[in-house]
Amino acid sequence: MILILLGPPGAGKGTQARLIMEKTGLVQLSTGDMLREAVAAATEQGQAAKAAMEAGALVSDDVVIAITAERIEKEDCRDGFILDGFPRTVAQAEALDRMLDEKGCRLDHVIEIRVDDEELVKRIAGRFVCTKCNENYHDPFKRPAIEGTCDKCGGTKFIRRNDDREETVRARLAAYNRETAPLLPYYQARGVLRSIDGMNPIGEVAKEIELLLAG
Ligand code: AP5
């Protein structure tokens, strides 16, 4: 199965992708995580991406398409994957169509997670992430079961992302509305788009996605 999770920053794409991964065994491909790793390793792609990410703007299509094209060729993508944060422009969506055509695969589902802007800002402001496995937490909404210890990997170090400051979040939201929202009619026209209410608690959103995937 090939699934795209679409939605603005903080909508819960990463949180839901990880839950789907646990249930189905499909691998989560987060372009944000891949780019952050490239920045940390100071690769050529990371250096090209750094300034845009810090400003809350989109990284150039060339860089992101190259990273994704390379990633989906890996063995763990053979039975499908969950795209979290890709595509984000029509040019990226067209590139994905070509990649899937070449592999003889088809896109099964595009799920849009809808959340109000003020809620997004709140969610992002409260987010912290395990440095070892990237599991997301949130100050009031999702704390580790044992304080200071990651539920998933037992890690004890957490960070807050550089681009999670309020002014950068607003720039990321503007980029979403300008460049990514046009993907909704793009996928609607292909008959693969479903929209869900992402304002509900994490478990309820997960159940709704499960029903969509089953149906
Ligand atoms: P990326 O890392 O993809 O960030 P994003 O899309 O802005 O999304 P987030 O990771 O912030 O949010 P999310 O929807 O995954 O929410 P999460 O589950 O964490 O991209 C970062 C940057 O990389 C971009 O700005 C851009 O520069 C670049 N980039 C990446 N891909 C690119 C591309 N394709 N093209 C160009 N540039 C690209 O949840 C957020 C918080 O809320 C968490 O704390 C979570 O615990 C909590 N939460 C989740 N769901 C709920 C719920 N239902 N109720 C209450 N709390 C919840």
Give pLDDT tens digits for 14-55.
Answer: 999 999 999 999 999 999 999 999 999 999 999 999 999 999
Region of 26 (left: φ > 0; alpha: ψ -120 to 50; beta: rest) is beta
Model confidence pLDDT, tens digit, residues 72-125? 999 999 999 999 999 999 999 999 999 999 999 999 999 999 999 999 998 998
Q: How much is the pLDDT for 174?
A: 95
The model's pTM is 0.94
Q: How much is the pLDDT for 55?
A: 95
Counting from 1 in the atom list of ligand 1, the atom nearest the Cα of 113 is 14
User: Could you tell me the distance, in angstroms and rounded to a whole number, from the CA of residue 12 to the centre of ligand 1?
Assistant: 7
Q: How much is the pLDDT for 162?
A: 86
- Residue 205's Cβ-count burial label (10 Å; 0-12, 13-18, 19+) is buried
18 noted as active-site residue: no
Counting from 1 in the atom list of ligand 1, the atom nearest the Cα of 129 is 44
For ligand 1, atom 50, which residue shows the shortest CA distance?
12
Q: How much is the pLDDT for 33?
A: 94
Residue 211 clears pLDDT 90, i.e. is over it: yes
Regarding predicted confidence, which is higher, 215 or 172? 172
Indicate whether residue 60 lines ligand 1 (CB < 6 A): no
Residue 195 clears pLDDT 90, i.e. is over it: yes
Q: How do strand 127-130 and strand 136-138 relate by DSSP bridges?
A: antiparallel
Residue 12 clears pLDDT 90, i.e. is over it: yes
Indicate whether residue 125 lines ligand 1 (CB < 6 A): no
Counting from 1 in the atom list of ligand 1, the atom nearest the Cα of 198 is 53
Model confidence pLDDT, tens digit, residues 130-171? 999 989 999 988 999 999 999 999 999 999 988 998 889 999
Name the token pair of 182: 């046009």
Are 140 and 126 within 8 A, CB to CB?
Answer: yes
Q: How much is the pLDDT for 111?
A: 98
User: Could you tell me the distance, in angstroms and rounded to a whole number, from the CA of residue 206 to the centre of ligand 1?
Assistant: 16
Q: How much is the pLDDT for 140?
A: 87
Indicate whether residue 15 lines ligand 1 (CB < 6 A): yes
